[in-house]
Structure 1
Amino acid sequence: MTQQGVRWSADQVLALAPDAASRKAGSKLGAAGPWSGTGSSDEGTVWGLCKGSGSKPYQTVVDIADVAGPAYKCSCPSRKFPCKHALGLLLLWAGEDGAVPAGQAPDWAEQWMEGRRKRTAEKRAATASPSASADPEGARRRAERRAERVTAGATELEQRLTDLLRGGLAGAEQSGYGLWEETAARMVDAQAPGLAARVRELGAIPSSGPGWPVRLLEECALLHLLDQAWLRREELPDGLAATVRSRIGLSGTADGPPQRDQWLVLAQYDTSDIRLTTRRIWLHGAASERTVLLLSYGAAGRAPELALPVGLALDAEVSAYPGAGQLRASLGEQFAPPAPATTRPRGMTTSQAAARYGTALRDDPWLDSIPVTLDRVVPTPDGDSWQLVDADEDFALPLTPSARSRPGLWRLVALSGGAPVKVFGECGHRGFTPLTAWPEGPGEAVQLC
């Protein structure tokens, strides 16, 4: 399929915007007025000149076929990626046929693309040919030293949890957040970032409202279980031991065999803290019916580079990370530009989704949620909250508190209008978080996050 035969929707383009201001500014540039010299190629390159405040127009070029999502280059001074000019150019390209005609790329656009192709080839060559100076024995010794530090940190954390329970949970409210931040810093020193993250979450529970002692005890129990699993990791099955290493924060590599499929982009959303922005992208294989998670990171305040708009499909390979029940994967070689998806994932009932989450906990007891697609559910108010009621059985899933506060809830209600819809999201012990929905009849995916 050539890129000329593929048109994205405006929603898919605007999903790439780094913030609301860029989305608004890019929308204003999605008309032909400020543009000249626009064009596109079968290889997935779109270019154009946009009139700005200066005497020279801004040179804007986008590589739509990049394996990690669209890549951008613009001569404007903006530090946002994509800038408003790149968004406007893509909106123009996604609109009426002929607004961005097929043609030969100008020299300035071709030079940028040649540079990208060269860097991509060099990166692949470096990945395929590990350095001859690699020192396996040195790597083994470093891994052993880190394991010793993690063990020391886990042992110290066990003592702190014991002290908390011996003194009573009421003391956690009086101690404030400082105690947990200090403990988390100790876990960072022990090179166990997974433990540090869970400890920081404990600090916020005493101020989370009624019922916090129960929630604190539950999280302490899960943290104790993770500590003990690490300290006894030699006794665990290989898959569970790999899951424990991942939960502790020891990074692995995506060494699973590459699996090629038509991967439908189900959802994409970001979470941020003062240190890091994490982007989660859910993919679903049309042939394998396998759902995988791509993770991408950016420094605090900056969007991660990987961007795959919801509703597109990629003919690509993915490789799994180790661990029993782990869904994380790495995106590998892409064989064609992303194209609008023509299929939807197979759905299940609400009771089947709840049962699947229970089964998944056997492989990963620390699993907050799993990805599922629900068939024929109706968003329904339930007192002060909302739930997804199965249209074909007497069972419902409550929405998570975070989902009830998102604008996406009202998009879902509007899409449904009281009729059943198909919904993809994350199902866990806190409830269901809807991320994407489809109408029961023909229609495009609607992003809810």
Structure 2
Amino acid sequence: MNGMDERRAERWTADQVLALAPDVSSRKAGTGLAVAARWSGTGASGTAVWGLCAGGGGTPYRTVVDTAGPGCSCGCPSRKSPCKHALGLLLLWAGGEVGAAAHGGGRPDWVTEWLDARRAREERKSTGGSGAARGGDPEAARKRAERRAARVAAGATELEQRLEDLLRTGLAGAEREGYQRWEETAARMVDAQAPGLASRVRELGALPGSGGDWPSRLLEETALLHLLARGCLRQGALPAPLAATVRSRVGYTVDSAELLAGPTVRDRWLVLARYDTADGRLTTRRTWLHGEAGGRPALLLSFGAAGRAPEPALPVGRRLDAELAFHPGAHPLRAVLGPRHGPPLPGGEPPGVPVATALGAYGEALAGDPWLDAWPVVLAGVVPIPGATGWQIADADGSDAVPVSAPGAGTGAGLWRLAAVSGGRPVTVFGELGHQGFRPFTAWGGGGTRPEPVPLTV
């Protein structure tokens, strides 16, 4: 066993376990399986928790969870991760009903084999695969890069022309023409190997007729897309951080192994929030972190095929000692998690700022990256205020407030959950600031030396 295997994971709370659930039905099913009578051969050693769960057939499901990650495996046919069996096992463990491996027997072979394979995959990720895969002909790579740059430039030039045509003929015609023209333009951007431009074109196509103020929103987004196209065509004249931001927004990617081979940031990272979004073909997981020593925010992005939750599934409110490598940009937020990190340990309440300070930080970030969709902030000493025209988050003294954005996470039941946590008293809230307002994701109430986080998403 390696050093990581020898460490003993601190038990999680039931709320932290349920925060891993991919959906409400999984939470309910996992809770129903947290019954000792359904399990046999359970045990825990190091960061591993395992057991056999009786299923519908004659053979029980082998379930194992590595709390350092975390990651899981189960013999059931579910494509969800974690599945209901992994959640039920973790709930038993959190309740103290899964002890250390009994009678000195250690881990079963199937648990050790899965852990070893998982560690091997992490090692391959850290080195970027074999040398042959990373190598290749440098001259051929240079020519491929030149061909792509030429195609992207041609696509950006075509996009500029189409946006000029839109403004020349007037925005009113955009509603009559329907979505087909936008989809054709987006397809042209895909052909030009500029997926970032294609995505923003599709977002433009969804605006006409979407509300009473859609012409103003369409004009704003058209201006931002035109600015991005111009930046793409003039990258050589831009400061290096802004040029890196433009490349990222256009759709250029950087290999994770290449990032991890460069400068990294070591810290104890507190997990502020985690949520998934799906478009029918792909599930995207966003995990927000806060560096406790350096105070730096970080965003982990991971992806999974439709119906399968991405990894990692870091529990909200825990912290892990890890290295992150950040993607280049004017305000680097997106990061890659290094493969060597400790198990998630109990965290605390993050430091926060008043509303005015958060708005100022968001404004500075927009100055460096006008295409910024969301800026992470922790608001301290604030209260949620429902109103006839929408919710607000306000400083306790009433000095400043910010509207809560209508779409997305943090609305509906989540906002009433936030109100229940607050009870009219000041709380700490993490969320994303965007041009439509503040989207709350996690709240910490007062009381206790280590207040537990309350996820506001379902």
Smaller-chain TM-score range?
A: over 0.9
Offset, 1:40: 0.2
1:275 counterpart letter in structure 2: R
Instruction: Tell me if structure 1 keeps the 8 A contact 2:80–2:307.
Output: no
Instruction: Tell me if structure 1 keeps the 8 A contact 2:123–2:339.
Output: no
Change in 2 beyond 3 A, CA 1:415/1:259: same
Change in 2 beyond 3 A, CA 1:39/1:245: same
- 2-side partners of 1:18 and 1:174: how far apart? 40
Instruction: Tell me if structure 1 keeps the 8 A contact 2:53–2:85.
Output: yes
Q: Report the secondary structure of 1:13's partner residue.
A: helix
Offset, 1:114: 2.7
- 2-side partners of 1:243 and 1:92: how far apart? 46
Q: 2:29 aligns with which of 10, 20, 25?
A: 25
Q: Report the secondary structure of 2:82's partner residue.
A: coil
Instruction: Tell me if structure 2 keeps the 8 A contact 1:4–1:102.
Output: no
Offset, 1:367: 1.0
- 2-side partners of 1:224 and 1:182: how far apart? 17
- 2-side partners of 1:118 and 1:295: how far apart? 22
Change in 2 beyond 3 A, CA 1:368/1:5: closer
What is the total number of aligned residue pairs between the two structures? Answer: 443
Instruction: Tell me if structure 2 keeps the 8 A contact 1:7–1:340.
Output: no
Counterpart position of 1:118: 120
Q: Report the secondary structure of 1:446's partner residue.
A: strand
Q: 1:57 aligns with which of 60, 66, 71?
A: 60
Offset, 1:127: 4.9
Instruction: Tell me if structure 2 keeps the 8 A contact 1:64–1:71.
Output: yes
1:35 counterpart letter in structure 2: W
Q: Report the secondary structure of 2:391's partner residue.
A: strand
Counterpart position of 2:224: 222
Residue by residue, what CA displacement relative to the aligned partner does 1:364-413 show, whole Å, maximum 9, x if unpaired? 01112210100111100232200011013511000001256442111101
Counterpart position of 1:202: 204
Offset, 1:124: 3.6
Q: 1:13 aligns with which of 12, 17, 31?
A: 17
Residue by residue, what CA displacement relative to the aligned partner does 1:166-205 show, whole Å, maximum 9, x if unpaired? 1111000101111111111111111111111110011111
Offset, 1:302: 2.5
Counterpart position of 2:93: 93
- 2-side partners of 1:165 and 1:434: how far apart? 36
- 2-side partners of 1:399 and 1:123: how far apart? 39
Q: 1:318 aligns with which of 317, 324, 348?
A: 324
Counterpart position of 2:305: 299
1:292 counterpart letter in structure 2: A
Change in 2 beyond 3 A, CA 1:428/1:53: closer
- 2-side partners of 1:122 and 1:161: how far apart? 44
Q: Within the alignment, does 1:260 sit opposite 2:266 as a pair?
A: yes
- 2-side partners of 1:376 and 1:132: how far apart? 50
Counterpart position of 1:386: 391
TM (norm. structure 2) is 0.92
Counterpart position of 2:175: 173
Q: Report the secondary structure of 1:358's partner residue.
A: helix
Instruction: Tell me if structure 1 keeps the 8 A contact 2:126–2:339.
Output: no
Q: Report the secondary structure of 1:222's partner residue.
A: helix
Change in 2 beyond 3 A, CA 1:190/1:359: same
1:48 counterpart letter in structure 2: G
Change in 2 beyond 3 A, CA 1:198/1:26: same
Counterpart position of 2:41: 37
Instruction: Tell me if structure 2 keeps the 8 A contact 1:38–1:48.
Output: yes
Instruction: Tell me if structure 2 keeps the 8 A contact 1:385–1:399.
Output: yes
Q: Report the secondary structure of 2:313's partner residue.
A: coil
Moved more, 159-168 or 128-137: 128-137
Counterpart position of 1:411: 417
Alignment of 1:343-358 (within 5 A): 343-358=348-363
Offset, 1:337: 1.1
- 2-side partners of 1:279 and 1:329: how far apart? 13
Moved more, 216-225 or 400-409: 400-409
Q: Report the secondary structure of 2:56's partner residue.
A: coil
- 2-side partners of 1:412 and 1:171: how far apart? 42
Q: Within the alignment, does 1:395 sit opposite 2:400 as a pair?
A: yes
Instruction: Tell me if structure 1 keeps the 8 A contact 2:378–2:428.
Output: yes
1:364 counterpart letter in structure 2: D
Counterpart position of 1:77: 77
Offset, 1:119: 3.7
- 2-side partners of 1:278 and 1:286: how far apart? 26
- 2-side partners of 1:120 and 1:369: how far apart? 30
- Percentage identity across paired residues of the two chains: 61
2:80 counterpart letter in structure 1: K
Change in 2 beyond 3 A, CA 1:115/1:361: closer
Q: Within the alignment, does 1:444 sit opposite 2:452 as a pair?
A: yes
- 1-side partners of 2:273 and 2:120: how far apart? 31
1:447 counterpart letter in structure 2: P
Change in 2 beyond 3 A, CA 1:114/1:326: closer
Change in 2 beyond 3 A, CA 1:121/1:230: closer
Q: 1:144 aligns with which of 137, 143, 146?
A: 146
Moved more, 208-217 or 329-338: 329-338
Counterpart position of 1:155: 157
Offset, 1:132: 7.1
Change in 2 beyond 3 A, CA 1:431/1:118: closer
Q: 2:373 aligns with which of 368, 380, 384?
A: 368
- 1-side partners of 2:77 and 2:373: how far apart? 42
Q: Report the secondary structure of 1:334's partner residue.
A: coil
Instruction: Tell me if structure 2 keeps the 8 A contact 1:92–1:100.
Output: no
Q: Within the alignment, does 1:335 sit opposite 2:341 as a pair?
A: yes
Instruction: Tell me if structure 2 keeps the 8 A contact 1:267–1:435.
Output: yes
Q: Report the secondary structure of 2:366's partner residue.
A: helix
Q: Report the secondary structure of 1:206's partner residue.
A: coil
- 2-side partners of 1:85 and 1:360: how far apart? 43
Counterpart position of 1:183: 185
Offset, 1:279: 0.8
How well do the aligned residues superpose, as a CA RMSD in angstroms?
Answer: 1.9
1:86 counterpart letter in structure 2: A
Q: 2:235 aligns with which of 207, 229, 233?
A: 233
